Amino acid sequence: MLIAMKTTATREQIEAVKEKIFSLGYTPHVIGGAQRIAIGITGNQGKIDPSHFISMGGVAEAISVSKPFKLVGREFKPDDTEISVNGNLIGGRELTIIAGPCSVENREQIIEMADILTSLGIKYLRGGAFKPRTSPYSFQGLKEEGLVYLEEARSKTGIHIITEVRSEETLPIVAEVADIIQIGARNMQNFALLEAVGGAGKPVLLKRGNSATIEELLMAAEYIAHQGNPHIILCERGIRTFETYTRNTLDLNAIPVIKKLSHLPVIVDPSHGIGIWDGVPPMSMAAIAAGADGLMIEVHSNPESALSDGYQSIKPERLKNLLKKIGLLADIMNRSVNLQTNEVNEKIYTT
């Protein structure tokens, strides 16, 4: 249930509603919208009687919620969520471009990539320090050492860092370095980890599991929100189907569906979504055209020698061309790609 307060509701009236909710044994969640405050209720089994609230001062409506997800649902919060990362908004008008290698491979590589991306105006660097791999014998990432290099890349360039957390145990050190903590597809229903990042105080990028339904993705986000962290970015990265030509089947249907069901921003990872480097640019364009709030793209200066996922990585030059086309597409979508440096924008937008 959701208690929508009047625009004129006072602080005391809001507190009174929260007290009432606590007194019934449930948990209140205050949700600030552009216009007015609403108070979500969780912790109930079955329906709550609206008469508890409807005659209280400042209450406009008691709305029963039909979906299993609450805090992340549009019923609870109709306005789009915008997540601020040092003043840069994810989920607003501006499209978010995240780029970088699959793994942090060594110091030089990640510093060089941060330089290149910064010169293209890109504000977010991805790179895995802890790599979950299907085989215990595959490269598992540089771990703590990789985090040090990411930190250095940020200090040097000011780029924001997004990197994956692999376990509760290493969450503290990842959270210290990451501007955005990534939960990988295989951990989407690692509920202990979801709860832990729910308390980590950093925005979270939550990747859809390769056989997770849209509803399961939203329920996983609900676990994070339920721990008090509403700064969640959903990421569509392809689902597992019978098709074997591509690594996954990028489910762009999920974009309009999630946008209807949830207020959270959604970005798309076309690199895992198709798994073939020359399919990345068309699928990037398709994702933005479908309404995604941004992209996460694997980029590598020398894909042939990448320690992981080289086949799906594009080179920086190709990214530069793609950004140009995305800039044009953004205009049509009433979005923008405010790449950071004027010099680059100039280079990119003039041909």
Query: Hey, what are 147's tokens?
Result: 């985090």
Q: What CA–CA distance (Å, rounded) separates 162 from 32?
A: 27
163: closest CA among 207, 195, 196? Answer: 207
- Is residue 263 near its own copies by the rule CB under 8 A? no
- Is residue 2 near its own copies by the rule CB under 8 A? no
Q: Which is nearer to its own copies, 2 or 153 (CB)?
A: 2
Pick the stretch among 12-20, 28-36, 173-181, 211-219 that binds its own copies (CB under 8 A).
211-219
- Is residue 226 near its own copies by the rule CB under 8 A? yes
Q: Which of residues 55-94 bind its own copies (CB under 8 A)?
A: 68, 70
Instruction: Find the shortest distance in angstroms from Cβ 38 to its own copies.
Output: 18
Q: Which of 83, 290, 323, 339 binds its own copies (CB under 8 A)?
A: 290
Q: Which of 219, 297, 306, 323 binds its own copies (CB under 8 A)?
A: 219
Q: Which is nearer to its own copies, 181 or 286 (CB)?
A: 286
CB 324 within 8 A of CB 351: yes
Q: Going along 274-319, which residue ranges are E strands?
A: 294-298
- Is residue 291 near its own copies by the rule CB under 8 A? yes
Q: Which of 214, 232, 234, 348 binds its own copies (CB under 8 A)?
A: 214
How do 2-5 and 59-63 pair as beta strands? antiparallel
Exposed e or buried b per residue across 64-89, where buried means at least 16 C-beta atoms within 10 angstroms of its C-beta: ebebebbbbbbbbbeebbbbebeebe
Other residues' Cβ atoms within 10 Å of the Cβ of residue 343? 11
Q: Which of residues 27-56 bind its own copies (CB under 8 A)?
A: 42-43
Query: Hey, what are 227's tokens?
Result: 């721990």
- Is residue 207 near its own copies by the rule CB under 8 A? no
Question: Who's near 319: CB < 8 A, 6+ residues apart?
Answer: 99, 120, 297, 299
Q: What is the CA radius of gyration of the chain?
A: 21
Q: Which is nearer to its own copies, 82 or 139 (CB)?
A: 139
- Is residue 193 near its own copies by the rule CB under 8 A? yes
Q: Which is nearer to its own copies, 5 or 218 (CB)?
A: 218
Stated as kind and residue range, the H or E segment containing 59 is strand 59-63
Instruction: Find the shortest distance in angstroms from Cβ 284 to its own copies.
Output: 9
Q: Which of 35, 253, 336, 341 binds its own copies (CB under 8 A)?
A: 253
> Exposed/middle/buried for 150, CB within 10 Å: 0-12, 13-18, 19+?
buried
Q: Which is nearer to its own copies, 159 or 323 (CB)?
A: 323
Q: Which of 106, 119, 167, 338 binds its own copies (CB under 8 A)?
A: 167
Phi, psi of 293 (to 5 degrees): -90, 0
Pick the stretch among 74-82, 95-103, 289-297, 342-350 that binds its own copies (CB under 8 A).
289-297
Other residues' Cβ atoms within 10 Å of the Cβ of residue 94? 19
Q: Which of 59, 250, 322, 348 binds its own copies (CB under 8 A)?
A: 250
Phi, psi of 206 (to 5 degrees): -105, 115
Summarize as ranges the residues that interact with its own copies (CB under 8 A): 42-43, 68, 70, 132-137, 166-170, 186-187, 189-193, 209-211, 213-216, 219, 222-223, 226, 239-246, 249-257, 260, 273-274, 276, 278-279, 282-283, 285-291, 325, 328-329, 332
